[in-house]
Structure 1
Amino acid sequence: MTPRQKGLTSAHIAAVFFGLTGVLGHVIHASPMTITFGRALFAVAALLVVAFCLKAAIVRGLDRRSSIALLCSGLALAIHWVTFFMAVKTGGIAIATLGFACFPAFITLLERLVLKDAVSLLDWILVVLVISGLVLVTPAIDLNNTGTIGLFWGVISAITFAALALINRTLGRLDAIQVAFWQNLVVLVLCLPLGMSGMVLLSGASLFWLIVLGVMCTALSHFLFVHSLRSIPARSAGLIIALEPVYAIAFAMILFNEQPTLRMTLGAILIIVAAVWPRRQTGHTA
């Protein structure tokens, strides 16, 4: 297998693991806060092992500015995970994933509103696509509808992920494993008061799947994504990761028989196109 093939394989495996996040959130019988705490706990342990094996820096290079950014990004990550799992528990895997998949549109809006970056006409068209997709995906304009509530939490998770992405732009000089470790540690500490108590109530099966979520779908998937960047362009890796909603919806259909309606399918297509298209436009894929 050539280095390029290895990189593509690593990126696709990472996307599959990312896509499994919603599935595992569905099968783990615990509150969103407990799931987030456990995910961060096992991810921190696994990332320590990865950092040791790769001789990656954990403390080196940290200063006051980067430490504040890591704290803020950890807070954003905690809110993102909790709201995403709330979306899964309330509206189902497909609804939660499609809500989260809107994050590129919110990145565009935050770049314009907060960073005052120039936004192209194409970017605004993609925002309109996402909004149109959300309208189609929304089961009903009714706050008593669980699907609508789930989509609401999914969109909140997308907004906080967009904020996380913008904060991460300021951490570019730090090692990716280092950033992931500290962000997960912040999540662990923030969720400790409410998340720890739920851990002792977990069944053996839920604990097993929580370990899989923290180790495979967080630490390993992050490592595979970073590893893929050594042999394929970031644009190519980003395009593959943008297919995460496709994997997630496929898992939901196969494992839980979550059959999307025609309206939801059309909305999903609009949202996924809006997520994938910017990455195709920024350069050739591998």
Structure 2
Amino acid sequence: MPDVKLKHNLHLHLIVFIWGFTAILGKLISLDALPLVWWRMSLAVLLIFGYILYKKTSFKLSKKDIVLLLISGLVIALHWITFFKAIKVSNISITLACLSTGAFFTSILEPIFYNRKIVWYEIVFGLVVLIGLYFVVESSEPNFIQKSFSENMSGTMQGVLLALTSAFLSASFSIINGKFAQRLDATIVSFYELLGGILFLSIFLLFSGQFTMEFFTITAEDLMWLFILASICTAYAFIASVAVMKFISPYTVMLTINLEPVYGIALAVLIFEKNEQMSFSFYIGAAIILITVILNGLIRNHKKND
């Protein structure tokens, strides 16, 4: 029995490592954020569609659920667009460090969605995260507070704002998805949400005149990275993470997911070297954010067990 649990824990770390690799792929793919996400979602939905047919799972849901899932797909699409755009304008390390704030956006949004009181220590932790963010940004953009009010905002500041927006959208999506996951098949939920994201993005691309021959002209290298992103990092990772949750507590899953920025930043430094090597103050800030997020999880779990 301990060996079985170890096996699933190692599987979970592999999944989180794969999610960390998503940022690397975002840097490797030459496409801009919007077409990148459209292709990612399109390929992933085709793969999940094939998986559903293979498993002979029913697509049938109520009209209300389908509409809500399609709309929530827009949220995840915007989360991915802002995430990849942040990587393009700044770098992987800054994006992942800022994305770690998603846990605190969740702690703010949960009381609104689930009608519970705001917990005082989560507010304190939120302020500590802001201190961590200060170190992260100041490391590559000295006097960024003054510069942020200038007309020409730097790539670093754009990346920070986009990554924070992505973190907020991710937190919103996880809360919305939590309600669906309680009563619907996770694979079917994923299929309709990805489909919804494609539909909304396609409408925007169509009316903005971006569906051109150039849009559908992709290099062999980009297509290879996109397929890995859609298959391993999206379709497989999602389905595998749901399967692992049957054997591991949600609390363990949550704490392990917090390692995604660590894996991602470590991979970025190894692969891109000088482009991702940050100053010492950056790593202080990133450590403050990560430790605070983990402490928040530990305290929340302790409170639940009391």
CA distance, structure 2, for counterparts of residue 47 and residue 201 of structure 1? 24
How far is 1:283 from its partner? 4.0
1:251, 1:279 → 2: CA distance? 25
Of 229, 252, 255, which residue of structure 1 is paired with 2:268?
252
Q: Which structure is larger by alpha-carbon Rg, 1 or 2? A: 2
Kept after mapping to 2: 8 A contact 1:7/1:230:
no
Cα offset for 1:129? 2.0
Asked if 2 retains the 8 angstrom alpha-carbon contact of 1:34 and 1:196, the reply is no
Deviation digits for residues 107-128 of structure 1, max 9, x if unmatched?
A: 1222235554212222112211
Q: 2:245 aligns with which of 229, 236, 251?
A: 229
In structure 2, how many angstroms separate the alpha carbons of the residues matched to 1:135 and 1:112? 26
**Within the alignment, does 1:136 sit opposite 2:135 as a pair?**
yes
Judge conservation of contact 2:70–2:197 (CA < 8 Å) in 1: no
Distance 1:54 1:233, change over 3 A: farther
Matches within 5 A, 1:207-286: 207-257=223-273, 258-283=276-301
Residue 118 of structure 2 aligns to a residue in which SS?
A: coil
Residues 243 and 276, structure 1, Cα contact 8 Å, conserved in 2: no
Aligned match for 2:198, one of 177, 183, 188: 188
Aligned partner of residue 117 in structure 2, secondary structure: coil
Which sits farther off after the overlay, 220-229 or 270-279? 270-279
Deviation larger for 107-116 or 242-251 = 107-116
Q: Kindly provide the CA deviation profile for residues 13-68 of structure 1, in whole angstroms up to 9, marking residues without a partner as x.
A: 110111011110101001101110111011112212333344444x23x2244223
Distance 1:175 1:76, change over 3 A: same
- Structure 1 Cα separation of the partners of residues 229 and 133 of structure 2: 27
Counterpart residue number, 2:103: 104
Tell me the equivalent position of 1:166: 175
Match of 1:176 among 165, 173, 186: 186
For residues 242 and 103 of structure 1, the distance between their equivalents in structure 2, rounded to whole angstroms, comes to: 10
| Structure-2 separation of matches of 1:52 and 1:281 | 42
Superposition RMSD in Å: 2.0
Q: Report the Cα offset of residue 243 of structure 1.
A: 0.7
Aligned residue pairs total 282
Secondary structure of the structure 2 residue equivalent to 1:191: helix
- CA apart distance, 1:187: 1.3
Q: Give 1:249 deviation, angstroms.
A: 0.4
Separation (CA, whole Å) in 2 of partners of 1:52 and 1:267 = 46
For residues 66 and 278 of structure 1, the distance between their equivalents in structure 2, rounded to whole angstroms, comes to 33
219-228 vs 274-283, which deviates more? 274-283
CA contact (8 A) 2:17 2:263 kept: yes
Q: Distance in 2 between matches of 1:270 and 1:196?
A: 43
Looking at structure 2, the residues matched to 74 and 117 of structure 1 have their Cα atoms a distance apart, in angstroms, of: 26
- Give the match's secondary structure for 2:246: coil
- TM-score normalised by structure 1 residue count: 0.91
Which deviations, in whole Å up to 9, do the C-alpha atoms of 1:192-233 show, x marking residues without a partner? 253754552321101100111111111111112112112221
Q: Distance in 2 between matches of 1:74 and 1:274?
A: 30
SS in structure 1 opposite 2:11? helix
Residues 19, 237 of structure 2: 8 Å contact kept = yes
Distance in 2 (alpha carbons) for counterparts of 1:88 and 1:130: 20
Identity %: 27
Post-superposition offset of 1:250: 0.5
State how 1:13-162 maps to structure 2 within 5 Å: 13-57=14-58, 59-60=59-60, 62-113=61-112, 115-138=114-137, 139=141, 140-141=144-145, 142-143=147-148, 144-162=153-171
Matched AA of 1:166: I
The answer for unaligned runs of 5 or more in structure 2 is none
Aligned letter for 2:254? Answer: G
